[in-house]
Amino acid sequence: MEEDDGAEEQQRFSYRQRLKAAVHYTVGCLCEEVALDKEIQFSKQAIAAISEVTFRQCENFAKDLEMFARHAKRSTINTEDVKLLARRSNSLLKYITEKNEEIAQFNLERKAKKKKKSEDENKNSTEQAEAGVVESEN
Amino acid sequence: MADSGSPDSEPTTRTLLRRVLDTADPSTPRRPRSARAGAQRALLETPSSRRLSSQTKTTARRRSQRIRSIGKLAHVQASGYLEEQTPRTLLKNILLTAPESSIVMPKSVVKPGPAPQVVQPSSRESSRGSLELQLPELEPPTTLAPGLLAPGRRKQRLRLSVFQEGMDKGLPLSQESRGNADASSLTSSLNLTFATPLQPQSVQRPGLARRPPTRRAVDVGAFLQDLRDTSLALAPPGESLTAPVATLPTDTVLEDTQPFSQPLVGRSPSVHHSLPCPSHSGAEDAERAVSHRTRSTGPRLQNNSPGKPAQLLAGKAEVDALAMNFPNTSSSIFGEVGVEPLQDGVGGEAEERTEKSLSMSKVKEAARARGSARAQEPEGHTQVTEAEGSQGAIETKEPEGSSGDCPTSSRRVSPELASSTPEFLQAKRIQGLEPAPPPSTAVLPSEPLEPLSARLPPRARTPGPKACQNPYKTGLSHYAKLFSFYAKMPMEKKALEMVEKCLDKYFQHLCDDLEMFAAHAGRKTVRPEDLELLMRRQGLVTDQVSLHVLVERHLPLEYRQLLIPCAFSGNSVFPAQ
């Protein structure tokens, strides 16, 4: 039992390390893009710090999301929870809301598409979807 | 019931009762406390007709009661029967009729003058039916109108014979409710011997005997003088409302039962003051009231007429309003402590602290209005005991200046304290309170700006205008003052302003969050669950430390009872309501 626990913990730990490494890699890629964009260099320590902070913040977000979902008496995390989480930053909230609407619209269109099984209807819906996408993009 | 107890008096039954009466929220339609202010009916040409009418009614009753001091017992009983027999009226009757001095003098003093005793015991006997308690009475004021005594006398005469019989038996007659063991005296009236030094005086008008005149003379004179001084001082500041009236800043806590002189003087100012800034009082009072408790004691009473109203307001605020804490720097100390008791035990505490019974809401308002302006020394002492302070005790949340929303304003929680639910509850109450002030009715539970003004005459000015200008922001000034207190260093004004700004943003943010949490759960009302979520996000509530633990740690017992359902249930847990 203890060995299992130890192994499990070790497994968890290694899993966590892999996650951290993935985050670190992603942060590194993003920083490179920003560096190219702003023509400024990022030191390794800075990237490491950013990735560590990101990782910890993700943990916090997860906990908060779970709390929000439970607060709303749900067992699944919803986009509403995400929006509540992102409310602090106005731009982020706006972005998330737009994306949310886009996805919802896309889902509706897809459903409409599936319901109408005739080809003509499909064509019409695709045209509408495209128009809708264009509109949403605009 | 003008007297609130002599300044030197220690808390006696009388004063305590008085405080109770004054501070307790009047459930009856008429406002007994405001009655005092209404004593100056003539002066009151205030817009609040409602107040006037209630005041006049009560004043009339009071006056008549006071006037008939002698026959008071009989009269009171009669009037008591006429009026609704509520505990309040009974207590009032007791206070009116009971002798002030609760000192039990040696029996030798009691002996003289069977006449006064005759009257008193008879009245006492008769009053027993109506009154449950008989407090010691001081000598009756000599200002009784003889005409009014007539009806009482008739009744007394009947009892005189009975009493005389008792006297003849040689039992030491206790003067009617002289003596401390009044309650016990009920059973053995004849055995108790209460001696008041001034008995001989009471011979003429035993019913009026309240206090030894010697005591009174000094107090009254000084008090009146203070009143006049303050009134003069007040007049120039330009109380438009009080201009016609000889505004005496204060209150009614007049010492004792000298019905004519003081009540007239004291009431008007308080009444008028209430009018000027009803709006201010609302927000500010809520906060102030909570935080301030009347600290001043006897000596202050006389000196600070405005203080009294402030005190009363504070007391009232505490009792009524759950309001908020407004700070006096001195009060800031009490703030934390004070706020908590506000909640349920507020009434009790307020009574104790607010010596002066003038807890009329109107008075408070008046005090508020004036508070800052009046800063005169006598007034300045309105160091209302700010008990209720900001506390995390949530119940009295003051309307914060930050946002007009009730929920936002109501959160005056000290960040350190995790008073989640209580705050919430208070916030709700504050919401209820806030609408009240605008109507400018004297009934603002919260109150008091007074404490600020009370500080010192020169400084009192500044809070006043500020309060008027930005009633919402004044709530924050309380916290800023707390901040400056805990800093233990002198702080620049600008620094305090910055602190206020930060607090403003903080509370706004806090309330926005709470609102969002409530909306997230599909509700329109903020509930304790929302607050718990907030605290969890703040890191105050963790998996190791639950909300209840924080409640137990930081809040007083009364709140715990409210917030933790199982706290007082012992081994049995009742279903949640």
Q: pLDDT at residue B152 above 60?
A: no
**Cβ distance B41 to B52 under 8 Å?**
yes
CA distance to A113, A137, B269, B356, per residue, from B40 (Å)? 82, 74, 9, 19
Q: What is the ipTM of this complex?
A: 0.71
pLDDT (mean) for A52-69:
90
Inform me whether the C-beta atom of residue A82 falls under 8 Å from chain B C-beta atoms. Answer: no
Q: What is the pLDDT of residues B533-570, one digit of tens each?
A: 888 888 888 878 888 888 878 888 777 777 776 655 56
CA A28/CA A41 separation, integer angstroms: 12
Q: Is the pLDDT of residue B500 over 50?
A: yes
Test A73 with B521 for CB contact under 8 angstroms: yes
B277 or B466: which carries more pLDDT confidence? B466
**pTM as predicted:** 0.36
> How confident is the model at residue A25, as a pLDDT?
94
Measured between CA atoms, the residue of chain B closest to residue A72 is: B521
Measured in angstroms, the CA of B538 and the nearest CA of chain A are apart by 11
What residue of A is the nearest CA neighbor of B543? A63
- A68 vs B: CB within 8 A: yes
Between chains, do B521 and A80 touch, taking CB under 8 Å as contact?
A: no
Q: Measured between beta carbons, which residues in chain A are less than 8 angstroms from residue B529?
A: 71
Hey, is B551 helix, strand or coil? helix
Q: Measured between alpha carbons, how far is B74 from B66 in angstroms, rounded to an integer?
A: 12
Cα separation, A5 vs B366, in Å, equals 71
For residue A67, give the chain B residue with the closest CA: B533
Q: Which residues of A touch B533 (CB under 8 A)?
A: 67-68, 71
Q: Which residues of B fall within a CB distance of 8 Å from A69?
A: none
Q: Is A64 on the interface with B (CB under 8 A)?
A: yes
Q: Using an 8 Å Cβ cutoff, are B349 and B19 in contact?
A: no
Structure confidence by residue, pLDDT tens digits, B382-393: 333 333 333 333
Interface residue of B537, B540, B546, B547 to substitute, partner A, most A CBs within 10 Å: B537
Distance CA B536, CA B549 (A): 13
User: Which residues partner with B347 through β-bridges?
Assistant: none
Q: Is A67 within 8 Å of B529 when comparing Cβ atoms?
A: no
For residue A48, name the pLDDT band (cuts at 50, 70, 90): very high
Dihedral class, residue B397 (left if φ above 0, else alpha if ψ from -120 to 50, else beta): beta
Indicate whether B501 pLDDT > 80: yes
The pLDDT of residue B497 is 85
User: Which candidate from B516, B522, B536 shows the least CB-CB separation from A67?
Assistant: B536
Predicted confidence (pLDDT) at residue B394 exceeds the cutoff of 80: no
Judge: B520–A80 Cβ closer than 8 Å, yes or no: yes
Is B516 close to A68, i.e. CB distance below 8 A? no
Interchain CB distance below 8 Å, A72 and B536: no
pLDDT tens by residue, B300-318? 444 444 444 444 444 443 4
Give the orientation angle of helix B72-82 with respect to helix B146-168, to 10 degrees: 110
B529 closest CB neighbour out of A64, A71, A87: A71
| Cβ(B286)–Cβ(B474) below 8 Å | no
**Testing the interface with B: which of A60, A63, A68 to mutate, by most B Cβ within 10 A?**
A68
- Please tell me which residue of chain B has the smallest CA distance to A83: B520
Which residues in B have their CB inside 8 Å of a CB on A?
Answer: 516-517, 520-522, 529-530, 533, 536-537
Which comes out higher in pLDDT, residue B462 or A25?
A25
| Nearest CB to A64; choose among B521, B530, B537 | B537
Flag if A87 and B516 touch (Cβ within 8 Å): yes
CA A50, chain centre distance (Å)? 18
Least Cα separation, residue A55 to chain B (angstroms): 18
Q: Provide Rg for chain B, Cα atoms.
A: 25
Q: pLDDT above 70 covers what percent of chain B?
A: 23
pLDDT band for position A26 (cuts 50, 70, 90): very high
B2 closest CA partner among B40, B28, B53, B50: B40
Checking if the pLDDT of A94 tops 90, the result is no
Return d(Cα B179, Cα B197) in angstroms, integer: 12
